[in-house]
Structure 1
Amino acid sequence: MYMTQALHRSMQQRPGKTVVRFQGRSLTYAEFGDRVARLAGALRKLGVAEGERVAMFSLNSARYLEYYMAVPWAGAALNPVNFRWSAAEVLYSLNDSGTAVLIVDDPFTAVARKVAAECPTLRHIIYAGDGETPDGMLNYEALVADSEPMEDAYRHGNDLAGIFYTGGTTGFPKGVMLSHTNLISSASNALMSGTFEESTVMLHVMPMFHLACFASINAVFLAGGAHVPMPSFDPGQMMEAIARDKVTSLLLAPTMIQMGLDWLEKNLQRAAELDVSSLTSLRYGASPMTPVLLARTRETFPRVEFSQGYGMTELSPVATQLGPEYHNEEALASGKMASVGRAAHTVEVRIVDPEGREVPRGTVGEIIVRGPNVMLGYWNQPEATAQAVRNGWMHTGDGGYMDADGFVFLVDRMKDMIISGGENVYSAEVERALASHPAVAQSAVIGVPHEKWGESVHAVVVLKQGAGATLESIQAHCRELIAGYKIPRSAEFVDALPVSSVGKVLKNDLRKRHWKP
C-alpha cells in the first residue's frame, strides 16, 4: 500500500475531473498531479533526503492537499503542525522530529521565523501564502513553476509516511509514527462501509493537520472524489460552501453541527436562500451525538445519512464505525446508537482487564485494537511504544464494554474515570443523562476533590439560549436516569466549554481549576 497510488489511478482514469476547488479556483486531477510531482521535485532539489521530515504549518488550503501527496512522492515523511500550539510546542515538534523543511502560510510566518532560529535541523522555510514572500523564505509557487516533475519515489508498506503529534494533556506531545499501510488500510474502511464514492464532494472543515481530516482526505482520493478545503471553521461560511460547491459529505464534531444549526436558525432569511440539498453524508466524531441533536439535524437535513467513528492517532485513526443503518428510531430504542459502533473492516477490537484478559460481554474494561492500522510506534520513545503496543495490540487507555453483537460502548478515558467513595463513575454516562435535560445544551463531567469520598461528581454545564436551570433541577432530572452515587454533587454554569481544534472537550483544562498542582 502507498499513499500516492490513488492519485496515480485518478490521473490515468479521470484526468479531466476536478479534484479540488478552493477560493474560486479549481484543479483537475491531471493539473493537480503535475503540481504534486513538481513540488516533490523542488523538495528533492532542496536536498530533502529519503525519509526526512517536511512540516506544514498552515490553515486548510489546496496547497495543503498538494503537500500531503508531494512529500511521500518525494520519498520524505510528513509532519503536519498543530496551528493551535504555542511557539514552544511547535519548536518542540520540529526539533524532536528533526524536520528539514517547513511550509508556512500567512498567519504563521512570524512564529515560523521565531522557531526557525532555534531549530538546527531546519534548512528551508517555504512561504505558501498569497502575499509578498518574507525575507529568507522561498516562494511555494515559484518552486512549483521552476522545478521539473520527478518520478514517484514509491515509498510504501511499512515505510514511514509521517509523524503525527498527539495533542497531549500533560507535557509535550508524542510523535506517532504512521506507515503507508497504516494510513491507507485505515482510510479503506470508509470505502468498505460505503461512505465514499466517486461522486463525493467533501468539504474539509476540520483542521487538515488533524488525522481525522487526513483520513477523510485519503478516503476521498481512494474513491476518486473531489475536495473543497475551508481555511477554518465558520458555521455561516460552511453553509455557504455547501450550497456553492454542491458539497455531498462533511466530517464534523457534534459541537460544530450544533453551531451550524444555530446559525441557520439565527439567519433565517439567508438560510432560506441557500440550497444545501446536495449534502447526503455527515460523519461525526470526537464525542457522541445526543438524540436531541440528531433529531434536530435530521429535521434540517432529511436526506443526510449519519455515521460516526471512534479511534485515535495511534490507530491511523479508525477503530470502530457506526453506519447510517444504526442512526434511526430502532437503533435509538435498542441503545445501539449510544455505541461507537463495531470494529471496522480491517480491525479487531477487544475489551480486556488490567492483565490483558478479555472480559465478559457487558463488562467494562480497556479497549484494545489490533490490525494493519496500529502505529509503528512513538518517535524516539521505545519505552512508551512498548507500554502502548503489546503483542500487536494497541492499548487505547479508553474504558468501554462490548455487547453481545460486538457493539462497543465508550464509557470514559481510563484516566478520566471518577472514583467516588470506592465507586467507579463514568463521565459519559452522566453526560448522557444531562443531555436529555430540556435546558442543557452541552455538558462535561469531571471529578473534583472531596474530603470524605476522595472525588465527587461535578458538572460543567452550558445552557440553551434563554433557558434556566439550577443544581437542584439537574440533580432531580438525573435521579430518574442514573444511580444516586453518579448524580452531580456540584455544578457550574458557563457560556462555553473549552474545546480542542476538532471540538473535543478539554477536560484537563476544567480539572485544573479544582485540583492543585
Structure 2
Amino acid sequence: MIVNAQEISEPRTYVDRILEHWNKDEDAEALVQGAQRLTRGEARRQLFRLGHALRGQGLAPGDGVGLFLANRVDSVLVQLAVHLIGCRVVFLPPEPGPGELAALVEQSRARAVVTDPLFAERAADAAGRSVHAPALLSLGPCEQRCADLLALAAECPDARPDGVPAPGADEVVTVLYTGGTLGRPKLAAHTHRLYDMLVDLMTDAAEDSGPAFFPTMDPSTDRVLAATLLTHGSGHLTSIQALVTGSALVVLPEFEAGAALTVLREERITATMFVPPMMYAVLDHPECKPGVLPALRRIAVGGAATSPSRLQQAVEVFGPVLGQGYGQSEALAIAAFGAEELASECALRPELWRSCGRAISDTEIEIRAEDSTAALPVRQVGEVCVRGNAVMLGYYEDPERTAAALQDGWLRTGDLGYLDAEGYLYLVDRAKDIIVTGSTSDNVYSRVLEDFLLTLPGVRNAAALGVPDEEYGEAVQIFLATAEGVEIDPEAVGAAVTAELGELYTPRKTVLLDQLPTTKVGKVDKKALRAAWTSGALTTP
C-alpha cells in the first residue's frame, strides 16, 4: 500500500485520527450495516472518493452541506467526507415539518443538500424554497431531479483530496438542529473544539486518567452499535467515539427492540448508546433476559431523563455495564456517570440512581437562579449552566437567541437541577415542563413524578403534563403506557402518587395507553402527546 505524506502526518482533526486507524490493518472490519460490510481499506477509499465527488459539485472549504440522511454506512462516510474537504456539516433530522425544514436549509446557508432516497421528495421541496438554491444530491438513484452522489463517487480517484486548510479556531464546522418555530429554527453551531475535546476524552480513557464513562476501547475487539439517529447528537457522538478509537461501527437502520437485540447478539456488540425509551423497550422485550448479551460491556444512556428504577432493572439484566450521560445539542457532553462508578457508588448511596454524574473533564457546571449569574448553594434547585469546550459557539445566524443563551461564556441550558456536595448533578425538569399548580402555585417537577410512576407494576413508560385548569391555572395529568395483559386502576395510581409525593402531585386524570408517542430520536414527544389529547386523537386500550 502506498500512503502519501499527508495521510501519515501529525493528526490535525478527528478525521485524521480515524484515518490513522484506517491506514493500518486494512482488512479489519470498519463499518457494518446488515449485509454491507466495509473493511478499513474500503472505507478509506470510499471516503476519499466521496470527498472528490463533493468537490466536483463546486463545494469549497467553509461551505455548508445539509445532510438529510437515514442510518446507513454511506451516511457515516458522507458526514466524514464533508469535514474531510473542510466544509460545514449541517444535520437535517427528519422531524421538522416542511416549512421548518425549508427554513433550516435557508438559515444554515447550505450550498448543497445530500439526501437519502427515502427523503428525496422532502429534501427537494426544502431546497426549492431556498433563495440560495442549494444543489441536491442523493445517496443512490431516486425519482427526484438530483445527482446520484454514489455514482459520481464511483468515477472519482481514491486518493485523499489535498489542499484543505486547517479549520480556524472559531470556524463553525458542525450545525445541529435543536428545535425552534416555523421560519426560525434554532441551530447549535460547534467549532472543532468539540471534536478536540472528544479525542482528548478518549485519549484520557486510554491512559486511565479520564472519566469512566469513556472506557478504554480496544480496536481489535470492540464493536460499537449506533442505534440512535446519526443526524442527532447522540448518534453522531456514538459514531465518532467508535471511529476515533479504531473500533468497528455497526449501524442500526431503524430502531425496534427485537431487531436491536438481534444485532447486539449476532454482531457481538461491546458498546452502544440508547435514549431511555429505547432502553425501556429492550428491557420489556420477551427475549431480554440476563446473560443474553455476553459480549456487551457498556451501555451509555442519555438524551433524556432516565427512571432510577429502570436503571436498576437494566443493571440487574445486563450487569454493571450501564453508564449515564447528560448533554444537549448546545453542549453535547456535560456530565457523565461511568458504569463502574455507577455500580459501586449507587450501592453505597441509592440516591445517586437519580444523578446523571459529574462534570466531564474541562467542563464546569453551576446552578443559577433565573436572571442571575451567582451560583446557588448545593442542593438548591435552579437552572443548569455550563462552560467548557463542549459548549456551542452560538446559534447559527441568530445573535438574539445566542445572547440569551450564552452569557460570559456560560450556557444557560434551560434544564433545572441541583448539585450535591460531591458535585453530582441531579436534573428535576426542563424549565418549560414544570407544572405550576395548587392553591399556592407551587412547582410540580414532571421528572420526579414520572420517575415514581415508573416504579409502579405494569407501567412501561410515563409522561406528566400540565393541562388548563380554571381553579389552579394548571392541573397535573399523567399518561401511562401499560404492559400487555396488565390491568391498572387509575384511582389506585392517583392514591399511590399522593401517598409518595404529596397532594400537590396528585393527578387530576390518569390516561392509559398502549404506548406513548416518541420523537424520531426516541424521546417521549410531549408536544405530540398534548396535541393528540387536545384533538381527541388518542385512543385508550
Q: Tell me the TM-score normalised to structure 2 length.
A: 0.87
Matches within 5 A, 1:265-280: 265=287, 276-280=293-297
Match of 2:113 in 1: 102
Counterpart-to-counterpart distance in 2, 1:472 and 1:444: 17
Matched with 2:363 is 347
Percent sequence identity is: 27
| Structure 2 CA distance for partners of 1:231 and 1:514, relative to 1, 3 Å | closer
Q: CA deviation at 1:361?
A: 0.3
**Cα distance change of structure 1 residues 218 and 338 upon mapping to structure 2, 3 Å threshold:** same
The answer to whether the Cα contact below 8 Å between 1:19 and 1:28 also exists between their aligned partners in 2 is yes
State the secondary structure of the residue aligned to 2:373. Answer: coil
Residue matched to 1:425 = 444
What's the counterpart of residue 263 of structure 1?
A: 285
Amino acid at match of 2:402: T
2:476 corresponds, among 447, 457, 476, to: 457
Deviation at 1:27, TM superposition (A): 2.0
Deviates more, 1:487-496 or 1:404-413: 487-496
Question: What are the residue-to-residue correspondences of 1:299-318 with 2, within 5 Å?
Answer: 299-302=316-319, 305-315=321-331, 317-318=332-333
Task: Flag the 1:170–1:461 CA change in 2: closer, same or farther, 3 A.
Answer: farther
- Summarize the Cα distance change of 1:172–1:497 in structure 2 as closer, same or farther, 3 Å threshold: farther
* Equivalent residue number for residue 398 of structure 2: 381
Aligned to 2:387: 370
Matches within 5 A, 1:144-163: 144-148=153-157, 149=159, 150-151=161-162, 153-156=164-167, 157-163=169-175
Farther-moved stretch of structure 1 (169-178 vs 363-372): 169-178
Secondary structure of the 1:399 match is strand
Q: Contact between 1:2 and 1:181, CA under 8 Å: does it hold in 2?
A: no
TM-superposed deviation, 1:66: 0.7
Q: Deviations over 1:210-240 (max 9, x none)?
A: 0111011111122111111111112222122
Give 1:171 deviation, angstroms.
6.8
- Tell me, yes or no, if the aligned pair for 1:169 and 1:508 is still in contact at 8 Å: no
What is residue 228 of structure 1 aligned with on the other side?
A: 250
Is contact 2:478-2:510 (8 Å) kept? Answer: yes
The answer to whether the 8 Å contact 1:37/1:151 transfers is no
Q: Contact 2:305–2:427 at 8 Å: present in 1 too? A: no
Partner of 2:192: 180
Q: Does 1:72 align with 2:89?
A: no
CA distance in 2, matches of 1:334, 1:261: 21
Uncovered stretches (5+) of structure 1, i.e. residues with no partner: none
Partner of residue 474 from structure 1, selected from 493, 496, 500: 493
Following superposition, the deviation at residue 241 of structure 1 comes to 1.4
Q: Deviations over 1:435-492 (max 9, x none)?
A: 2112322111121222222222221112222222233211221233213212223222
Deviation at 1:123, TM superposition (A): 4.1
Alignment match of 1:489 (pick from 501, 504, 508): 508
CA 488–135 in structure 1, closer or farther in 2 if over 3 Å, else same: closer
Equivalent residues in 2 for 1:11-410 (5 A)? 11-129=22-140, 132-134=141-143, 136-148=145-157, 149=159, 150-151=161-162, 153-156=164-167, 157-168=169-180, 172-186=184-198, 188-189=200-201, 191=205, 192-193=210-211, 194-195=214-215, 197=217, 198=219, 199-265=221-287, 276-302=293-319, 305-315=321-331, 317-328=332-343, 331=346, 333-354=349-370, 355-410=372-427
More deviation, 448-457/47-56: 448-457
Q: Distance in 2 between matches of 1:363 and 1:17?
A: 51
How far 1:137 moved relative to its partner?
2.1
Amino acid at match of 2:352: K
Q: 1:306 to 1:509 in 2, by over 3 A?
A: same
**Preserved CA contact (<8 Å) 1:447 1:511:** no
Letter in 1 for 2:335: T
Q: Shift in Å at residue 257 of structure 1?
A: 1.8
Task: Measure how far apart 1:169 and its partner are.
Answer: 7.1
> Is contact 1:159–1:179 with CA below 8 Å preserved after alignment?
yes
CA distance in 2, matches of 1:196, 1:225: 11
The one-letter amino acid of 2:417's match is G
Measured in 2, the distance between the counterparts of 1:133 and 1:488 equals 50
Letter in 2 for 1:137: C
Task: State the 1:515 CA deviation.
Answer: 7.6
Deviation (angstroms), 1:296:
3.5
CA-CA distance at 1:285 after TM superposition: 1.3
Tell me, in whole angstroms, the C-alpha distance in 1 between the residues paired with 2:170 and 2:434.
35
Show CA shifts across 1:72-99 (max 9, x none): 1111111121123323232221111121
**TM-score, length of structure 1 as denominator length:** 0.91
Q: Does 1:442 align with 2:457?
A: no
- The 2-side partners of 1:123 and 1:435 are apart by 47
The CA distance in 1 between the partners of 2:199 and 2:100, in whole Å, is: 28
How many angstroms does 1:291 deviate by?
A: 4.1
Alpha-carbon offset, residue 187 of structure 1: 6.0
**CA–CA distance in 2 between the matches of 1:435 and 1:216?**
27
| Structure 2 SS opposite 1:327 | helix
Q: Give the unaligned 5+ runs of structure 2.
A: 1-11, 536-541
Match of 1:173, SS?
A: strand
Report the alpha carbon displacement of residue 70 of structure 1 after superposing the two structures with TM.
0.5
Q: Once the two structures are superposed, what CA deviation does each residue of 1:104-158 show, in whole Å capped at 9, x if it has no partner?
A: 22211222233333234244222213xx454632222222222233126244343
CA distance in 2, matches of 1:141, 1:243: 31
Change (3 A) 1:221 1:158: farther
For residues 261-306 of structure 1, what are the alpha-carbon distances to aligned partners after superposition, in whole Å with 9 as ceiling and x for unaligned? 33334xx9xx99x96321211111133433443344334323x500
8 Å contact kept, 1:7–1:33? no
Output the CA distance in 2 between the equivalents of 1:207 and 1:187. Answer: 21
1:18 to partner: Cα distance? 1.7
